[in-house]
Amino acid sequence: MQTEWKHTTVLLNEAVDALLQHPDDAPDQPLDGAYVDATFGRGGHSRLILSRLSPAGRLTAFDKDLEAIAEAGAIADARFSIRHQGFRHLGELPAGSVAGVLMDLGISSPQIDNPARGFSFRGDGPLDMRMDTTRGESVAQWLADADVDSIAEVIRDYGEERFAGQIAKAIVARRQERGAISSTAELAQLVADTVKTREPGQNPATRTFQAFRIFINAELEELQQALEASLDVLQAGGRLVVISFHSLEDRIVKQFIAAHSREVYDRRAPFAQPKAMKLKSLDRIKPSAAEVAANPRSRSAIMRVAQRTAA
Ligand SMILES: C[S@@+](CC[C@H](N)C(=O)[O-])C[C@H]1O[C@@H](n2cnc3c(N)ncnc32)[C@H](O)[C@@H]1O
């Protein structure tokens, strides 16, 4: 099954160029440092990073998904290791030991395209949506017990859906009448029957599916924790490169970099030295028109690049 679902890596060269700092006078010189690919997926970024490291270089990758972990098993390279963990665990690496952290957020094409994973309103499958199917609750299990206010809050906060209240009520009413929703097609139909207006070109269930996926995988909490952890593990001069695919993610990354890119003054101690900034914001890059034409899933990508300062 591994070969059936393919992933086209987004911003492949741009991300790896931003992560790896080859000397200006020796741009082809392999690098010795230790790097982190926090989101291995199908290894597009990882393979290119490895091709640019010296025998002394190291790459530690993370992924929550067992299929990604299986794919990583095909990389027979002593410089490479993969961890089946959420990427917040990157904070367990030794402090100041890492020359670059890459995060290519969200889900991979194999996850969304395989109906059995339950991420998509196209096709029918079990309403699961977990990246890590070895732990935690599926969306169906959560919806079987959750109260209407919690469901509405998730759809509103993570889907920015105007009809969150109506959709949540419809989910609970349907549960009381006919039992809990267990399939993606059932959820997509229920949302389509409930949401009155449609955004042009968008399936009415898009926002609800996004919301449930973010919630069930604790995506935003884990992102915040991983960003904080990256400050500890990055060495001075090390790079933080994050590709996000929707505004909720990008807002967290943008605010995190901004918050650590200025000196912080303590108002209660106006004459004390300000706390030094920990990051320098370097770049914000979007896929080229050619990339978007070749891979429409890249269209919403925004990559932010920052550098760890010596503080
Ligand atoms: C967009 S794909 C990465 C694709 C990869 N860069 C490539 O070129 O093949 C995102 C991957 O990150 C994983 N992922 C997302 N959030 C994660 C988290 N918090 N911890 C670990 N893995 C995560 C997903 O399971 C998925 O495989």
- For residue 115, what are its two tokens? 């109906």
The H or E element spanning position 16 is helix 12-19
Among candidates 233, 222, 217, which has minimal Cα distance to 60?
233
Pairing of strands 279-285, 302-308: antiparallel
pLDDT at 1: 43
Give me the chain's average pLDDT, please.
94
61 DSSP β-pair partners? 37, 82
pLDDT of residue 170: 97
C-alpha 220 to ligand 1 mean position (Å): 13
Span from the CA of 303 to the centroid of ligand 1 (angstroms): 15
Pocket test of ligand 1: the residue of 8, 131, 223, 224 to mutate, having most ligand atoms within 8 Å of its CB, is: 131
Structure confidence by residue, pLDDT tens digits, 65-121: 999 999 999 999 999 999 999 999 999 999 999 999 999 999 999 999 999 999 999
- How far does residue 22's CA lie from ligand 1's centre (Å)? 26
pLDDT-derived band at 5, boundaries 50, 70, 90:
confident
Task: Name the residue among 163, 132, 131, 127 with its Cα closest to residue 146.
Answer: 127
pLDDT digit string, tens, across residues 114-140: 999 999 999 899 999 999 999 999 999
Question: What's the alpha-carbon Rg for the chain, to the nearest Å?
Answer: 21
